[in-house]
Amino acid sequence: MPARRGHGLKILFLRSACIIPSLTTEQRCARMPDLIEVPATDGLRIALVYATSGNLTGRPVYAPGARCALRPQAARCLERAVRAARRAGFGLIVYDAYRPAAAQAVFWRMLPDPRYVADAAQGSNHTRGVAVDVTLTDAGGAPLDMGTGFDDMRDQSHHDRDDLSPAVQRNRHMLLGIMLQAGFRSIPTEWWHYELPDAQEYALLPESDMVRVVPD
């Protein structure tokens, strides 16, 4: 038995020596799936706004059955955010995650304002699979007051405002703290948008069965 144990240890050593150090970051990323589904869990509700008519286009842009999908690196951060929110007695709602380029093109045609919508020609970090739009809920699942709604393209949706109530400031700060500590970064113009700090390092992703776009 001791001999077999030793053999096992050698295999373990060889595995760690051969596989882990010999892979570059690119190779390790290449072995990961591009997108994984992030299902609803305790403390995480999935409510994809673009799968409904309640968005800036007034019609569903995602076909029925659209799922919340992210690159594994972003999904891990979201998982950390959900745990942090739950520890504080809150929950999270995801409004959007991976967004196909065809959907981005629809939004850009509708609102060609780079403060709120990434130019479809350049691509969105949502299409890279590393951005997520979220809000916080109370323990009962009711969304907290963030002062403006999701996709409300006004200055009041920006971070660092002086014209919001203390309660709204607190709610936004809680969401910001939870998402930053989970590994995301914010952008100045949208309180709901968070993305990986190295988002631009990820390639734009092709169409995925997880989110089909309704033709115009």
Write down the least CB distance from residue 175 to Zn ion, Å: 13
Query: Per-residue contact track with Zn ion, 170 to 209, x per CB under 5 A?
Result: -----------------------x----------------
Query: Per-residue contact track with Zn ion, 89 to 128, x per CB under 5 A?
Result: ----------------------------------------
34 binds Zn ion (CB under 5 A): no
Q: Compute CA distances 193 → 13, 151, 186, 209, whole Å.
A: 43, 10, 6, 23
Amino acid found at 92: L
Q: Which SS3 state, helix, strand or coil, does residue 130 take?
A: coil
The answer to whether 37 is a known catalytic residue is no
- Would you state the torsion angle of the CA atoms of residues 181, 44, 48, 31, taken in this order, to the nearest 10 degrees? 60
Write down the least CB distance from residue 133 to Zn ion, Å: 4
Residue nearest to Zn ion (CB): 193
Distance CA 80, CA 71 (A): 14
Packing angle of the helix pair 72-87, 166-181 (nearest 10 deg): 130
Q: What letter would DSSP give residue 144? A: P
Region near Zn ion per CB under 5 A, out of 68-76, 107-115, 130-138, 203-211: 130-138
Catalytic residue, from 26, 37, 79, 190: name it: 190
Region near Zn ion per CB under 5 A, out of 23-31, 52-60, 73-81, 133-141: 133-141
Write down the least CB distance from residue 99 to Zn ion, Å: 8
Quickly list DSSP for 46-88.
E--GGGSS-STTSS--BPTT---EE-HHHHHHHHHHHHHHHHT
Quickly list DSSP for 169-182.
HHHHHHHHHHHHHT
Write down the least CB distance from residue 32 to Zn ion, Å: 22
With CB under 5 A as the contact rule, the residue among 77, 93, 127, 133 that binds Zn ion is: 133
Catalytic (active-site) positions = 190
> Which chain residues interact with Zn ion by CB under 5 A?
133, 193
